[in-house]
Amino acid sequence: MADKAALALKGVTKRFGGLTVADALSFEVPAGSRMALIGPNGAGKTTVFNLISGVFPLDSGTIMLDGTPLENMPPRLRVGAGLARSFQNIRLMPHLSVVENVMLGQHVLVKGFASLLSPLAWQRGSRWRQFAEASLRDAGIDVDPDSEVSILPYGVRKRIEVVRALMSRPRLLMLDEPAAGLNPRETAELSAFLKSIAQNGLTLLVVEHDMSFVHDLCDLTVVLNFGRMIYDGPTRAVQDNEEVRAAYLGRRRVLTRGTYPAA
């Protein structure tokens, strides 16, 4: 069933010195599904994103995006393969305006020397700019596109990052704590927005702590603990799982080679 999976990890392992941050991870994200990646702090969720994006090379294992192996692909080519992500600590470019940040996300779709060297300002009516501005409006971001990003509220900046990620028309969108710091109303809006964009065959993989958001948005969940996967299945059955409960509520564990000591 590998060709039905938007993303397939097999045996993905990564060690930093003596610390195993990813321990033979294997799971699949079915195409068109919305999956949550959860786990206690330090479980390695952002690390998984970093491994998929190519920030770090794998020690072993494979990562397949729609059947294309990613693990040896240079990070900058992975966007072209259909991967996009947002970041836990918002990583917008501080000296670029809102629309410029979003247009950066389009980079992988912009082809040709001519478009590289023609002025952006003359393209105010151009399709790239219109695409960016329309996407911002669709996401409910109601600010002047030429404004500075640093003065905008946290929630707005988080959503701009999501829009930036969408610009490359990805097949898999990885969101790292998109609801962090949002109030309940904003969280509901975000959930509705994500559901609407996911309708066009986009696969979502979301790292989150907010369980009501997870239950609302994602029908599938993978739970990580200390770099190991301890659950892979429907979201509604997560809290019934023994090991998940133990991971969150704590239980004494024996130190095994190279893994984190008990919290």
Residues that bind other proteins (CB under 8 A): 46, 49-50, 53-58, 60-62, 71-72, 75-80, 85, 87-88, 91, 93-96, 100, 103-105, 107-108, 110, 115-121, 144, 146, 148, 150, 164, 168
Beta carbon nearer to other proteins, 49 or 226: 49
Please state the length of the chain: 263
Question: What is the distance between the alpha carbons of residues 187 and 92, in angstroms, rounded to a whole number?
Answer: 20
Spatial contact of 19 and 261, defined as CB atoms under 8 Å apart: no
Instruction: Write down the H helix ranges in 20-84.
Output: 45-53, 75-78
Separation of alpha carbons 58 and 61, rounded Å: 7
| Shortest spacing between CB 69 and other proteins, in angstroms | 10
Q: How far is the CB of 25 from other proteins (least distance, A)?
A: 15
Q: Give me the least distance between CB of 66 and other proteins, in Å please.
A: 17
At residue 238, φ and ψ (nearest 5 deg) are: -60, -50
Residue 47 C-beta: closest distance to other proteins, Å: 9
- Nearer Cβ to other proteins (33/46): 46
Closer Cβ to other proteins, 46 or 187, answer by number: 46
Rounded to the nearest whole angstrom, what is the least distance from the CB of residue 31 to other proteins in the complex? 22
Alpha-carbon distance of 257 to 260, in angstroms, equals 9
Q: Which is nearer to other proteins, 81 or 211 (CB)?
A: 81
Q: Beta partners for 25? A: 12
